[in-house]
Amino acid sequence: MADITIKDATPEQLAMLGDAAFKAGNLGLARGFYGALARAQPGAVGPMVRQGMTHRPNARRPKLLEVLQLLESVPGAQAFVGEGIATWFKNPPFAADAKFMTLAAQDEAIAPSGVFNWHWNLQVMLNAAQQAKAIPGDYVELGVYKGHTTKFLADYLDFATWDRNWWLYDTFEGVPADQRDPGREGMTATVYGESFTFEEVRDRFATYGNIRVIKGRVPDVFAQGSPGRIAFIHIDLNNAAAEIGALDALYDRLSPGGVIVFDDFCWSTSHAQYRAEMAWFQARGLNVFPLPTGQGLFIKPPA
């Protein structure tokens, strides 16, 4: 590792040096410059976005850095670039929330591979989970992987102190072969990047007396145990058949005012899920809000 000392560099110079190192593929050096940039501009969005870009990089990342640079060339843009989203002239609530930023950084290592700067998605999840606290019922996550989203939310919300349960379901083996959508036949367990197990996730939540991890296939797994009354569901199963099966099984248990967040609603890779879910809700005269994060947000109307 090179030992480089730079004195009196401006933030612009630090960003330029970091970006050059990043594009050259020297992530360690890029992190060093971005770290100095973050210290020079505490609380600023640009250094945070750059630091996130260096984590678990993929082939798209250098192009996305160019998107960030281009947006930053617009005066006052306050640009943010994450996986599947770029915003400018927006005031991201998370940027001013030290607890949010600390937990998001801490939990990033257990997100599915390719996911970086997931802050807007986590912000939607956090507001939805907070909203549902006023609604009677338990919390549910369908499709857990290593527990990234629920860990972030449970830590932020201090869920251990809540008088309700959070039920987490996963096959821990990827999408079952007979549920894979056309064109997504490769959705095995390895598609998420790293190996993951039921035991690992169970242990991750062991300190929470009110979070249960259940291994099995949605919707059949609900026979092993499931809540009678629900306030909040995060649906992230990466296939239409299981997500529709979950709606059929759980919708009537969702309290009025209860919230569902679909992780994959508007992603271009997940159009089969979108079509099936739109049809399911439209048949009942209901509406899911499509969000630019790729998520879909549903709030159950009063009975």
Residue 250: count other Cβ atoms within 10 Å of its Cβ: 21
Closest CB to ligand SAM among residues 86, 189:
189
Closest CB to ligand SAM among residues 123, 179:
179
Closest CB to ligand SAM among residues 51, 239:
239
Closest CB to ligand SAM among residues 111, 154:
111
Answer for the pair 221, 169: CB distance below 8 angstroms, yes or no: yes
Select from 39, 168, 164, 61 the least CA-distant residue to 117.
Answer: 61
Alpha-carbon distance of 295 to 192, in angstroms, equals 18
Bond prior to 219 in cis (omega within 30° of 0)? yes
Joined together, the tokens standing for residue 54 give 């260096």
Q: Is the dihedral of CA 154, 241, 300, 135 positive or negative?
A: negative
Closest CB to ligand SAM among residues 68, 171:
171
Task: Name the minimum Å distance from CB 23 to ligand SAM.
Answer: 29
Task: Name the minimum Å distance from CB 235 to ligand SAM.
Answer: 9
Task: Name the minimum Å distance from CB 253 to ligand SAM.
Answer: 18
3-state helix, strand, coil split of the chain in percent (to 5) is 45, 15, 40
Closest CB to ligand SAM among residues 112, 296:
112
Task: Name the minimum Å distance from CB 150 to ligand SAM.
Answer: 7
Task: Give me the helices (H) in the chain, please.
Answer: 11-23, 27-40, 45-53, 61-72, 98-107, 119-132, 148-157, 198-204, 240-250, 271-282
Joined together, the tokens standing for residue 254 give 């969702």
In the block, tokens 């700067």 appear at 117
Closest CB to ligand SAM among residues 79, 235:
235
Give the distance from CA 116 to its chain's centroid.
Answer: 9
Task: Name the minimum Å distance from CB 241 to ligand SAM.
Answer: 8
Residues whose CB falls within 8 Å of the CB of residue 158, separated by 6 or more in sequence, listed in order: none
Alpha-carbon distance of 174 to 122, in angstroms, equals 22
Task: Name the minimum Å distance from CB 192 to ligand SAM.
Answer: 6
**Residues of the shown chain interacting with ligand SAM in the complex, contacts defined by CB under 6 A:** 111-112, 143-145, 148-149, 169-171, 174-176, 179, 192, 217-218, 236-239, 242
Task: Name the minimum Å distance from CB 77 to ligand SAM.
Answer: 29
